[in-house]
Amino acid sequence: MNYYIVTKEVFDTLDPSGIQYAHTSQDESKNIVTTSDTIDSVLNTFNSIPELATYVSNNHIDWTGDGSGIEEWEFEEIEYLSGI
């Protein structure tokens, strides 16, 4: 699995069938994406879910706005559904 932060413009070009998890930033300019696909144009790449969760926790104001971040299990267990 690959763990990325991409711009909204890049996210909008991705094939939804390859996305396992997605989360939009508070300002809607970026997305966290976990996918089996390789994405070339990214803002950040992470090697693991714990690394991604730590980043989001440290930058929670950009992602959740409530100080909580996103728990590791959420990346693994919440399934992305396109069009919702």
Q: Using 50, 70 and 90 to split pLDDT, how confident is the model at 19?
A: very high
Q: For the chain, give the number of residues.
A: 84
Q: How far apart are the first and last CA of the chain?
A: 23
pLDDT in tens, 29-62: 999 999 999 999 999 999 999 999 999 999 988 9
3 closest CA partner among 24, 21, 28: 21
Dump strand ranges (E) for 1-84: 2-7, 19-24, 30-35, 44-46
Burial of 18 from C-beta contacts in 10 A (0-12 / 13-18 / 19+): middle
What is the pTM (predicted TM-score) of this model? 0.87
Domain boundaries, the chain: 2-77
